[in-house]
Structure formats: structure tokens, C-alpha cells
Amino acid sequence: MKTLSKSEIQFLLLKLHSLTGIIPIGLFLVFHLGFNSLRTVGVQQYQFGIDLINNMPYLLWIEVLCIHIPILFHSFMGFYVAYQGKFNVFRYAYPRNWMYTLQRVTGGVVFLFLVYHIGTTLFPKMIEGKHLFEASPFLIGIMNEQMSTWSGRLIYLVGILSATFHFANGLWGFCISWGLLIGKDAQRNAGIAFMFVGLVLALWGVATMAAFALDPVSVEPVFSKGMSL
């Protein structure tokens, strides 16, 4: 096999950046907001959802390989890509140029949000060793607390709106970069359709926040430590 030049590797890394935005990160976002929205149905249903995930085999491997490493890679490449460009949206104030700019800004905002969000959920969960059925009461307690303050709500609102916009607009960029959307009208129509996708995701997230904020119920583990099924 022929070895790749530095220049060809850069191309492949950019393609991988684009791909990781959809698979797995975009998929994760959809599932994550979807699972969390179970909270709007009821706290038991939500607990059941978290239990389901936290009792999955090889959970740590799945999380590290399919979520954490891709997000780190996408973020690292994202900052690299963002620094390569030069914003000119005030000179050329076209709608699409705004989207281009926002794509980069929201990427940075999502990164900051993730540091805070993972630092206040996954991280304490690992530190305090809350696994299996212990995890959901612990995490639900944390979310109740975060959604009880306006600063917490603001952080989540900004995080959710940024992530959903970034994903929706990213879906559009992805389809063009990989050649799925060619014609001018097709690009415009898909852009509108993807914004609806983003809107639905954002509503999901905001409804979840509202459920936590308006009705902070705490739960007990379904099974206690040491008990086996």
C-alpha cells in the first residue's frame, strides 16, 4: 500500500471531522436529547431510561470509543478549522455567511458547555463510583439541583440551543460536502427542513429542562448495591 502524504492526511482528517459530526456525535445528540426527554413523561420512565443505559455491557468502552474520543477529535479539528478561516460577515452579510459564522461560534460554545456539563454529571458519577442502579438517583439529583437556579437554566438553554443549531446546520453542510445535496433549490429546501429538525431537538431539550425545573422529584435506586437480578 502506498503511504499517504501529509497533505492527503489533512484531507482525510477534514473528511473525518465532517463525518464524526454526524456519526457518532450527531446520533448521540439525538439519542441523548431523546432519552432525556423521557423526563417529561415521568420521573420513573426517566429513571428506567438511565438504568437501561447504565446497565449496558461494555458501557465504558462504548462511551469512550463512540462518544468521548469522537467529540474530542471533532472539537480539536473544529477549532483548527475555525482558526483557519477569517470571518467577514459584517462586510458580506448574507444569510449563509451568518450560518457559516454561527457554525463556528456555536461549536466553541458547545465545547465550553460540554466541559461544564460533563464536569457536573459524568465526572462526579465516576468520582463517586455511582454505577448500575445507583447512577440514576444520583444523576437525577444533580439535574434537579442544576435546574433549580437561573444560572443553571441559562447555561443549559444556551448549550441546548447551540448544540441543536450546530447539528442542524452541520447536517446541511455535511450533505453538501459529501455531495448529497447538489442543486440550488435542493440546498435551500433541505436547509429549511434541517432547521425544523434542529427546532424539534431544541424543543425536546427545553421541555426536558422545564420538567426538571417545575417538578424536581428525586428517586431511590430500583435495586440497591450488591443485589443482583
Q: Quick one: which segment of 3-11, 90-98, 114-122, 191-199 binds ligand HEM (CB under 6 A)?
A: 114-122
Do 156 and 209 contact (CB within 8 A), yes or no? yes
Counting Cα atoms < 13 Å in the Cβ hemisphere of 139 gives 27
Does 121 bind ligand HEM (CB under 6 A)? Our answer is yes
Nearer to ligand HEM, 4 or 62 (CB): 62
Which does residue 138 touch among ligand HEM, other proteins, none (CB within 5 to 8 A, set by kind)? none
Contact flag: residue 110 with ligand HEM (CB under 6 A): yes
- Give every CB contact of residue 138 below 8 A, 6+ residues apart in sequence: 124, 125, 128, 130
Of positions 16, 73, 117, 197, contacts ligand HEM by CB under 6 A = 117
Q: What are phi and psi of 94, to 5 degrees?
A: -90, 150
Query: Distances from the Cα of 37 to the Cαs of 121, 160, 204, in angstroms?
Result: 17, 13, 6
Say which DSSP state 149 is in. Answer: S
- Give the Cα separation of 136 and 134 in Å (integer): 6
Rank residues 8 and 114 by Cβ distance to ligand HEM and give the closer one. Answer: 114
Binding positions for ligand HEM, rule: CB under 6 A:
18, 21-22, 25-26, 29, 32, 36, 53-54, 63, 67, 71, 74-75, 78-79, 81-82, 103-104, 107-108, 110-111, 114, 117-118, 121-122, 125, 135, 139, 143, 156, 159-160, 163, 166-167, 170-171, 173-174, 177, 205, 208-209
